[in-house]
A = this chain, B = another copy of it.
Amino acid sequence: MEVTNPLYRGQGIHVIASIFTVDHGVVKVLLIKRKNEPYKDKWALVGGALYNNEDLMDGLKREVKEKSGISDIDLTLIDVFGKVDRSPVMRMVAISYLGVIDINRVNILKETQKTSNAVWTPLDEVSNLAYDHEEIIASSFEKLKHMILNSNILASLFPDGFTMPEIQKTYEAILGIQLDRRNFRRKLLSLDLIEDTGNTQVFAGRKPAKVYRFKDKILDISVFNI
């Protein structure tokens, strides 16, 4: 069968990743600088056009690898962006994904065939991006706030474990609120999501903190307890 209707022609799919980290209490997103048109020399999220012979996740991981060097990251579907004019080249529908990664565990490629720079950018410094990528980041960040409350997505931020004060600061940075130390600890422990490693970590001049790690477990609580 052949498609002849011109209304169906000239369409493509973008797969795009909002990759977040939390660095010293600041939430950052990975941006790359584009080498090519459209939006040459503009900052943008990692991602690109899907090939017609690859599945969505394969294309996404290929794009992430090509443009950032990151090869080992879990990405979750977040949203879809399809305004007719969102790309100046052709009709592109963007499928957006979210990932979280430990900034210290990954070497970001500063330059690739298609990018001239790559920077972890604090959320409040994000502006003037290519395409509708600012909107995509906003939608992903909202979802991230939700996900840290309903999943173990932060496990990938702490591959070697974490102390309670550390992870609490991460929650506070992402949610933008202050939390009570004692209740936070009790709540996180009660979820059966993390476990004590038996180790401690010492910072200068302070009492050593216990190190916990995430269990290999998916949490997906529902709210409404009827």
Contacts and interface: CB of A to CB of B under 8 A. Distances in A.
Interface in A1-48: 1, 3, 7-13, 37-38
A92 to B, nearest CB: 10
A106 B73 CA distance: 46
Interface in A57-104: 77, 79-80, 82-84, 88-91, 93, 95
A50 B95 CA distance: 15
A124 interface: no
Number of copies: 2
A79 B82 contact: no
Given A221-B223, A226-B149, A3 B89 contact: yes
Contact of A224 (B7, B93, B187): B187
Interface residues of A, number: 45
Interface of A: 1, 3, 7-13, 37-38, 49-56, 77, 79-80, 82-84, 88-91, 93, 95, 146, 149-150, 171, 179, 183-184, 187, 221-226
29 contacts: A1-B37, A1-B89, A3-B12, A3-B89, A3-B90, A7-B51, A7-B53, A8-B52, A11-B50, A50-B82, A50-B93, A54-B84, A55-B82, A56-B82, A56-B93, A82-B95, A93-B93, A146-B222, A149-B223, A149-B226, A150-B222, A150-B224, A179-B226, A183-B226, A184-B226, A187-B225, A221-B223, A222-B223, A223-B223
